Structure 1
Amino acid sequence: MAPLPEFIYKITPTAPPDPIPEQYPLSALDQQDGFVHLSTSWQLPITAGLFFRDTASVYIIKLRLAGLPPSSVKWDEVEGTNGCPHLYGNFGAQDVVAVREFRRGEGQTWEEALAGETAWLV
């Protein structure tokens, strides 16, 4: 099993509230599923491609994994990795390291748009 990443990420199609509140507003999908859907840096292009393929820009919220209660983050199995992180609970301003908007050009995939962002998406 691979080591756990330092950061995990939340993708949103709109700008997060500013300032970010103590309890982040859950998306309809997160409310329905009972957990916050998160991604590792290498999963971001895949997640964006699946759920935001018709969106020209997204906001990515960077969270420090060590700042979240260990028992609240569960990793769904994905072969050869630790899996997909799901947060059972919520996060807020105290957990957010940074927020950034990412855009993709016409005809560009999210994989292409995020490819040069390895310094921020670690």
Structure 2
Amino acid sequence: MPAPLPLPTYLYKILPSAPPSPLPARLPLSDLDRTDGYIHLSTSEQVPGTADKFFGKVSELWLLKIKYEVLAAGTDGDGEVHADKKAEVRWEEVGRGCFAHLYGADLGIGNVQSVDKIEKSGSWAKSLSLE
């Protein structure tokens, strides 16, 4: 599936609990990411719906904010582009839209721009304001 146009500036990884601080070069994969074989990511427009659907019962989330161009370049969690790995972002159709999936790389200090804690006030759609 082709990437959306225009391409997003940022992609987000939603976490139900705080990541280690400081971020390591390789964050542990969620059970879902490990099972599926890729890291699930969302655009700013997709984050509220994804949060409501999969994290509706929690009162706080952590968002990893990642520049799309950094992931598209194949940058791994350690900040390097490894010639022996095929790190790539693939846009794939999932029931309710086209989502970014990161294959062949990890998230970590080298490719995550920021970590933000978000507290829920009503729904996630009302609590999240992303660019």
Instruction: Report the TM-score, using the length of structure 1 for normalisation.
Output: 0.85
Structure 2 gaps of 5+ residues are 76-86
Residue 77 in structure 1 maps to residue 80 in structure 2: no
Q: Where do residues 1-122 of structure 1 align in structure 2 (5 Å cutoff)?
A: 1-68=4-71, 69=74, 72-77=88-93, 83-89=98-104, 90-105=106-121, 108-114=122-128, 117=129, 121-122=130-131
Please tell me the root mean square deviation across aligned C-alpha atoms, in Å.
1.8
Equivalent position amino acid for 1:57 in 2: E
The answer to which structure has the higher helix fraction is 1
Instruction: Report the TM-score, using the length of structure 2 for normalisation.
Output: 0.80
Determine the C-alpha separation between the residues in 2 that align with 1:35 and 1:4: 20
Structure 1 gaps of 5+ residues are none
Alignment length (residue pairs): 113
Equivalent position amino acid for 2:47 in 1: L
- Provide the secondary structure at the position in 2 that maps to 1:99: strand
- Provide the secondary structure at the position in 2 that maps to 1:8: strand
Offset of residue 78 of structure 1: 6.4
Q: List structure 1 segments (4+ residues) > 3 angstroms apart after TM superposition.
A: none
